Chain A
Amino acid sequence: MFDFGIWTSWFNNLLTGCMPGWAATLIECVVIGVLVLATYALLALFYILYERKLCAWFQCRLGPMRVGKWGLLQVFADMFKILIKELISLKGTDKFLFKLAPYLVITSSVVMLACLPWGRGLQIINYNIGIFFVLAVSSVGVLGILLAGWSSNNKYTLIGAMRSGAQMVSYELSLGLAIITIVLFAGTMNINELVYAQNDGWFIFKGHIPAIIAFLIYVIAATAETNRGPFDLPEAEHELTAGYHTEYSGIHFGFFYLAEYLNLFIVSGIASLMFLGGWMPLHIPGWDGFNEVMNWIPSIVWFLGKAFFISYVIIWFKWTFPRVRIDQMLAFEWKYLMPFSLANLVLMAVFVALGWHF
């Protein structure tokens, strides 16, 4: 399997050969920043089109078709339109917090994006507490949404932000517990080691029953974490105008829009990393020929394929299930999902202690 580390070390050697160390590091950091930025923008644009097309197909429509072939250029037109809209500054808003909120939301999703393993040797931030770091950064995004709702001087945004706060912090518990279940199984939090540990089978197969339950819990909690699907209470259009970003206009609104789609990709990416092997191809112990064939598919295709598949499922939820009420949503988390994930954690601990896994 191709190792992208060859390219990065070639680039590193090229730079360190002709300039002092600090300058090489600086240039590498700038290159990484530009690459992350490009990836972020492209992914967000892709996801907007992906969602619009999928939603159209679920409703027996064609979706955007006019701009470009099959409407492929529609998202560029949309983004340009959002960019040329006026940025309205409102009376009575808390100006500083109002402008700070998009920074928090976008920055948290960029940092999370930089933590994902894209392929063999294609990972940027690689802490030994990797997955914990990702969860920690994700809570900064909640703060951004809360600030946006609070500072807008609008009662509906306040309700939206409060709902979003209650929802995101509640489902973060189940999300965290599902991830702990896998950390317990793997015995490491380093994202790179997590991927390599799935060389002889993905965790969802190796950990069978508890891992599958954890995967289901994770997908439900991730849907709620990204404020989507049946859990889109923070921006329930019929009740709250547009939720926490009602008062944002132009590109200010665009930031929340982009971050929402990027968060969808990130939770899908983490699901594929924790349960479906990240960029690791499907390996079945003993079937050497099969494994060889699977190794021919590039690692980045595996990672993106899994992430897009899980995003597909989450988008499918959104266009299939009706929205839940807030009391149902909180009761579902605290009375069902959370006790279940605790019980599942204990089950996994028993399985690991007794060796009942592959």
Chain B
Amino acid sequence: MNLLMEIGNGPLAITATITGIGLVFAALLIAKLISPKSYSVKKSEPYECGIPTRGESMIQFKTGYYIFAILFLIFDVETVFLYPWAVIARSLGVQSLLCIGIFLFILVLGLAYAWRKGALKWT
């Protein structure tokens, strides 16, 4: 504990990040050194499901996912706002309950609206 306190969190987080990058880099380097290499036209084609592919693959895609992404944004920001409240809720007592109740009520209303409009339905 003492040691880790002395280094500080910033350098430690950077150390962990560099470790992750280093792990990938080192493993790729080893693989490049010891793995065989050969080239053929057929091999460099996308596998997909085994038969030759047709058309572009980087295409515009189903909007269903997009609606869920937007819903996620709303509620994720909400959870971010809930964290500071959660930390101090104990010391605020009943008053905090009322405040967060109003906040959550508005959000649940939003969810109910999205539900009613059919945004949660997979088409």
A327 surroundings in chain B (CB, below 8 A): 121-122
Given known A110-B19, A111-B16, A330-B120, contact A154–B35 (CB-CB < 8 A): no
Query: Chain A binding site: helix, strand, loop or mixed by DSSP?
Result: helix
Residues of chain A whose beta carbon lies under 8 Å from any beta carbon of chain B = 3, 5, 8-9, 11-12, 25, 28-29, 32-33, 36-37, 40, 83-94, 102-103, 106-111, 113-114, 121, 123-127, 129, 132, 150, 152-156, 158, 162-163, 165-166, 169-170, 172-173, 176-177, 180, 183-184, 187-189, 241, 246-247, 250-252, 254-255, 326-327, 330-331, 334-335, 338-339, 342, 345-346, 349-350, 352-353
A3 surroundings in chain B (CB, below 8 A): 1
Given contacts A25-B7, A89-B44, 15 further A-B contacts (CB under 8 A): A8-B1, A33-B16, A83-B30, A107-B20, A110-B17, A114-B12, A172-B72, A176-B76, A184-B90, A247-B46, A331-B122, A334-B115, A338-B111, A339-B111, A342-B107
Q: Of A123, A150, A170, A246, which one neighbours B4 at CB under 8 angstroms?
A: A123
Q: Are A33 and B68 in contact (CB under 8 A)?
A: no
Q: Are B97 and A170 in contact (CB under 8 A)?
A: no
Q: Of B28, B45, B108, which one neighbours A342 at CB under 8 angstroms?
A: B108
Q: Are B23 and A331 in contact (CB under 8 A)?
A: no
Q: Are B46 and A183 in contact (CB under 8 A)?
A: no
A158 surroundings in chain B (CB, below 8 A): 57-59, 61
- Min Cβ gap A322→B in Å is 18
Residues of chain B whose beta carbon lies under 8 Å from any beta carbon of chain A = 1-7, 9, 11-13, 15-24, 27-28, 30-32, 34-38, 43-49, 53, 57-59, 61-62, 64-65, 68-69, 71-72, 75-76, 79, 82-83, 86-91, 93-94, 96-97, 100-101, 104, 107-108, 111, 115, 120-122
B36 surroundings in chain A (CB, below 8 A): 84, 86
A88 surroundings in chain B (CB, below 8 A): 43-44
- Give Cα distance in the complex from A109 to B89, angstroms: 31
- Min Cβ gap A37→B in Å is 6
Q: Are A251 and B27 in contact (CB under 8 A)?
A: yes
